[in-house]
């Protein structure tokens, strides 16, 4: 089974979702992430994922075009912008959508920004857990 997670910049939300989906699938699925744009991997996303035991430091920010030849079973959009800008995906994949807040847009002190990243991380983790339970029941 192949899963693609799409976001606007492939720097935070889709990267976190890819990390959790890979971990939770336990090798039962190939998981990729991409963006409509490639903004580079956000170091705060890497840090908050590491705090939860998931290493995404080796991920790369990819454009959607990098995967146009791969057949996917599931395509997940994790922000409204990606869903609106890429409403049609050239595949027979089942499409899923959940709009998560963009932690990269958080403002305030460093502590407030880290808190925003952790909150989004935790929302993504919970959603990914339910998704995996639904599509890959044990």
pLDDT tens sequence across 7-42: 988 889 999 999 999 999 999 999 999 988 888 899
Domain boundaries, the chain: 2-135
CATH 3.40.50.2300 fits 2-135, yes or no: yes
Catalytic-residue membership of 79: yes
Catalytic-residue membership of 128: no
**Could you tell me which residue, 86 or 23, shows the higher pLDDT?**
23
Model-level pTM? 0.91
Catalytic-residue membership of 86: yes
Q: Which of 3, 7, 16, 41 is catalytic?
A: 7
Q: Which of 29, 47, 66, 86 is catalytic?
A: 86
Measured between alpha carbons, how far is 102 from 93 in angstroms, rounded to an integer? 25
Q: Which of 79, 104, 116, 132 is catalytic?
A: 79
Q: Is pLDDT at 66 greater than 60 in this prediction? A: yes
């Amino acid at each position: 089974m192949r899963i693609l997670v799409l976001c606007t910049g492939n720097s935070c939300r889709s990267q976190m979702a890819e990390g959790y989906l890979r971990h939770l699938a336990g090798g039962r699925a190939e998981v990729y992430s991409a963006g409509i744009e490639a903004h580079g991997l956000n170091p705060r996303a890497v840090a908050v994922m590491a705090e939860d035991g998931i290493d995404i430091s080796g991920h790369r920010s990819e454009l959607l075009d990098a995967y146009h030849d791969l057949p996917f079973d599931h395509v997940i959009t994790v922000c409204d912008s990606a869903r609106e800008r890429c409403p049609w995906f050239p595949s027979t994949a089942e499409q899923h959508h959940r709009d998560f807040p963009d932690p990269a847009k958080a403002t305030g002190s460093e502590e407030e920004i880290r808190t925003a990243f952790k909150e989004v991380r935790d929302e993504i983790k919970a959603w990914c857990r339910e998704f995996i339970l639904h599509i890959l029941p044990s």
